[in-house]
Amino acid sequence: MPAKELVEFVARSLVDDPDAVKVEVVRDRDGTVLELHVAEDDMGKVIGRNGSVAKALRTLLKVTAAREGEPISLEIL
């Protein structure tokens, strides 16, 4: 899935501990949910100031979802 690979690549580029990055795909009746798991110390880097990095990731996912024709959302855990 290109969306999963995109989120994983961007998250690994942002954090100090790229080995702790894990993206899980969960499908439900509303579409696909990508669950992003990062180390506790890297959580702020993935979310960003006022959520700016998280918003940018979600915007990229909307573009990818439009190309695939399936709703995709992101949860940072």
Q: How confident is the model over 19-32, as pLDDT tens digits?
A: 999 999 999 888 89
pTM: 0.87
Residue type at 2 in one-letter notation: P
Give CATH for domain 2-76.
3.30.300.20
Q: How far apart are CA 23 and CA 32, in angstroms?
A: 12
Would you list the domain boundaries of the chain? 2-76
Q: How confident is the model over 53-77, as pLDDT tens digits?
A: 999 999 999 998 888 888 899 999 9
Cβ-based burial of 73 (10 A; exposed 0-12, middle 13-18, buried ≥19): middle
Percent of all residues in the chain with a pLDDT value above 70, rounded to a whole number: 99
